[in-house]
Amino acid sequence: MGVLYVACLSRELSVRNLKIAHRTLLCFGVIAALLMALGTFNLLQLSDIRKAGTEIENSWLPGLASADKIAINVGTIRLETLRLITTNDPAIQRTSNALVEKLDAQVQAELVAYEKTIFLEEDRQVFNDAHARYRDYMTGVATIQRLVAQQQTEQAAQFVVNTQIAAGRNLADSLLKMQQYNIDEAAKSGAVASSLYEHVRWVSVLVILVALVITAVLAWIMTGSIVNPIRQAVEVAKRIAGGDLSRAISVKGQDEAAELLVALSTMQDNLRSTIGQINDSAHQLSSAAEEMNAVMDESTRGLQRQNDEIEQAATAVNEMTAAVEDVATNAVSTSQASLAASQSAAQGQSQLSEAISSIQALTSDVLGASQQAEALATQTQNISKVLDVIRAVAEQTNLLALNAAIEAARAGDAGRGFAVVADEVRALAHRTGESTREIESMIDSIQQGTGQTVDALQTSAERARSTLDKANAAGQALSVITESVAGINDRNLLIASASEQQAQVAREVDRNLVSIRDLSVQTATGAQQTSAATQEVSRLATDLSSLVKRFIV
């Protein structure tokens, strides 16, 4: 049994190299061949049985029937012959003669019919012997009829005793032999048919048993070659469904089940590779989320510092606005003083001392305005420094937002949310930089105006001193002083106008700084949202790592 099992197992492995359809066709082909062989054998044996039956039906039974009819007719002829010699009635004799002729015709017909059934030489010899004796007997019958017709009844009786009885016995023996021969041959044909039937029956039973055994073996091999790999595929699928991807899948054969196992093996390899990549991506995502969280914390602190610097800049701009308004007030006062000086110079030499006093006051005012303008220039330089700090913070915020966007891109779909926030932060940082550049442009304008104001005030101071010297030197310079005072008045108007413009610019700078502060607050809020999104991404990465750990790779 062990050898049979090993042989069947090796056969199962060999049939695994065939497709299931080819394998099925092969098995059914073997069964069909066995059935065809059994059917062919049975047909051949049935042909022999039919041949024996045909011999009985077409030869022996008709021959036996003809022999029986001949024997019966011959017996009747013998009776009628005896009646001829035992009666003197002419009518009976005529009837007997007519009956003998009729029976002779029937016997001749049966002899012809019997001869048609002959196919064996022995049968023909028996027939020829019976036929010859019948002719001899009928020759004797004709002699008896002739003698009876001649009224020689005693001679006819003597002929019967001496010759016809012996001829009748010989004919009866030949007919009996012919009958027995047909009976024996029919029995032989029946025996042959029975023997063939038994042979066919036993061979059919044997072939059926062999076919059943072969069918059972083929069914076992066929079932095993299909069920075993499918069972293996089911076990592999259950193991993969349970998360175990570490065991290799053994694939044998080239059939559909082997292709299924190859597909499962490929699926397991792909799952193992995918899960490994997911695990690596989860670790990278967690690290990126932590780095982004740190970056966003740093960005929040930078935005806070930027907000503080903006507050300081707003305070400085407010102070500058107040200083500019003071400059404008002093410029107006200087203009009024210049007008008064001009009026005083027009009154004459008598009022020269008052003009000198006014010029001195004008000089003091101009010097004060010059000092205030210089202070304003210094404050604008301080504002430029603050703007440099704001620009640096904006650039750092832009870099931090860019890093956050890069980390969000590395995170893929999971980082899409805080990638949007990082883009908003970059946009806010860009707007902060733009506003800072606008403020710098405004500060440059203020610095240029302040420089012009300082130059004008210095010029006014120099002219005031020159006017004072000339007033002290001689009264004839009064006209020159008047012209100088007029020029001072014009320049004071310019100073007042420039100061008003500076105040307007300062107020615009203050509004821009307020906008920058609001943007900084929004940026800080976005940074906080980005930090929260980063923490959520970190939590999702942790959950993803936990899910991946369920698989054994």
Domain locations along the chain? 2-218, 269-547
Over its length of 553 residues, how does the chain's per-residue pLDDT go in tens digits? 444 444 444 555 566 677 777 777 777 787 888 788 877 876 776 666 666 556 666 667 787 888 888 889 998 998 898 888 888 888 898 998 999 999 999 999 999 989 888 888 998 999 999 999 999 999 999 999 999 888 888 898 899 989 988 998 998 899 899 889 888 888 888 788 788 888 878 888 888 988 888 888 878 887 877 777 788 778 878 888 877 777 777 777 677 777 777 887 888 788 778 877 877 777 787 787 677 777 767 777 776 777 777 777 778 767 767 766 776 677 667 667 667 766 776 776 677 677 678 767 776 876 777 677 677 667 777 777 777 777 787 778 878 777 877 877 887 777 777 677 778 877 877 887 787 788 778 777 777 877 777 677 678 778 767 877 877 786 676 677 677 767 766 776 776 677 677 767 767 767 777 777 677 677 778 767 777 777 777 777 787 777 767 667 6
- Token representation of residue 130: 């019976």
Q: What dihedral angle (degrees, nearest 10) is formed by the CA atoms of 412, 417, 418, 422?
A: 100
Overall fold of domain 269-547? Helix Hairpins (1.10.287)
Q: Report the C-alpha gap between 547 and 541 in whole angstroms.
A: 10
Contact 229, 16 (CB under 8 A): yes
Structure tokens given for 207: 């072939």
Q: Which CATH number fits domain 2-218: 3.90.79.10, 1.10.260.40, 2.40.50.150, 1.20.120.1730?
A: 1.20.120.1730
**How far apart are alpha carbons 380 and 386 in whole angstroms?**
10
Distance between CA atoms of residues 519 and 523, nearest Å: 6
- pTM reported for the whole predicted model: 0.36
Query: What one-character-per-residue DSSP string does 345-405 give?
Result: HHH-GGGHHHHHHHHHHHHHHHHHHHHHHHHHHHHHHHHHHHHHHHHHHHHHHHHHHHHHH
CA distance 180 to 116: 18
Q: Residue 34 in contact with residue 211, Cβ under 8 Å? A: yes
pLDDT of residue 57: 63
Q: What pLDDT does 218 receive?
A: 79
Q: pLDDT value at position 76?
A: 92
Secondary structure of 135-183 in HEC code, one letter for each residue: HHHHHHHHHHHHHHHCCCHHHHHHHHHHHHHHHHHHHHHHHHHHHHHHH
Integer Cα distance of 61 and 136 in angstroms: 27
Please say whether the beta carbons of 447 and 377 come within 8 A. Answer: yes
Q: What is the model's pLDDT at position 481?
A: 60
SS3 content of the chain, % helix, strand, coil (to 5): 95, 0, 5
In the chain, the amino acid numbered 219 is: A
Cβ(438)–Cβ(336) below 8 Å: no
Would you tell me the crossing angle of helices 256-347 and 165-241 to the nearest 10 degrees? 30
Look at residue 355 in the predicted model and tell me its pLDDT: 64
Residue pair 394/436 in contact (Cβ under 8 Å)? The answer is yes
Angle at 187 between CA 58 and CA 56, to 5 degrees: 10
Q: Please give the span between the terminal C-alpha atoms of the chain, in angstroms, as a whole number.
A: 42
Q: Which residues pair with 552 in a beta bridge?
A: 244
Cβ atoms 517, 310 nearer than 8 A = yes
